[in-house]
Structure 1
Amino acid sequence: MDGYPRETDADACTTRTLYLNSGTYTWTQIRDLVRYPRRDIYLAAGTYTWTDCLRPHDHYYQQTSTLDKAGSSPATLTGPEFTTLSGDITFGSLLDPHF
């Protein structure tokens, strides 16, 4: 991060594709060592595109995590707004199966 974000700054995203078994998962966003927000979600078996992004707005960032399976509506987990002036940030999300 380098100063206050602007709406015109590019998103910072990472995307992966993975196969998930059907079941309930706890889905949690991670930013540095903080794990919040979290929710339980039922996912059908299939191949998902999993995307985590930091989205700049004027003077703050917002983290979003999306799970997208072809033929289904994407699920999104949106974290609270945060600010930072500069430095490194580690971010992502975690799926913890209940089975």
Structure 2
Amino acid sequence: MIQSRVILLSRVLSYGLRSNRVQYQPIRHAHAEWNYRQGPPDSSHPAYVRYGAPVVAGLMWWWVMWHLWHEPEHITGEFPEPDPKLWTDKELGIPPDDFEGDE
């Protein structure tokens, strides 16, 4: 296994040493129109995208709000919040009133 890695590494290094120039590939934006300081053209997307995107977004927000309303435990937790007034001094780690301490 080490031999195969050494062979692969030697091939990569020898190729890198043989090519003494950096190869750049220009970024091509030929798939869309270029808009500089203006909005996109009106016909940038087909009609099913222009009308379907708000419908899908509305369904998504309906789903989120429905589940927040009917199942709030996902956010607030499943168990009731404990009442700290019912805790004892021992549970809170408070020493008794007649405790003198190490002084």
Q: Normalising by structure 2, what TM-score?
A: 0.14
Q: Normalising by structure 1, what TM-score?
A: 0.14
The answer to which structure has the higher helix fraction is 2
Larger radius of gyration: 2
The answer to which structure has the higher strand fraction is 1
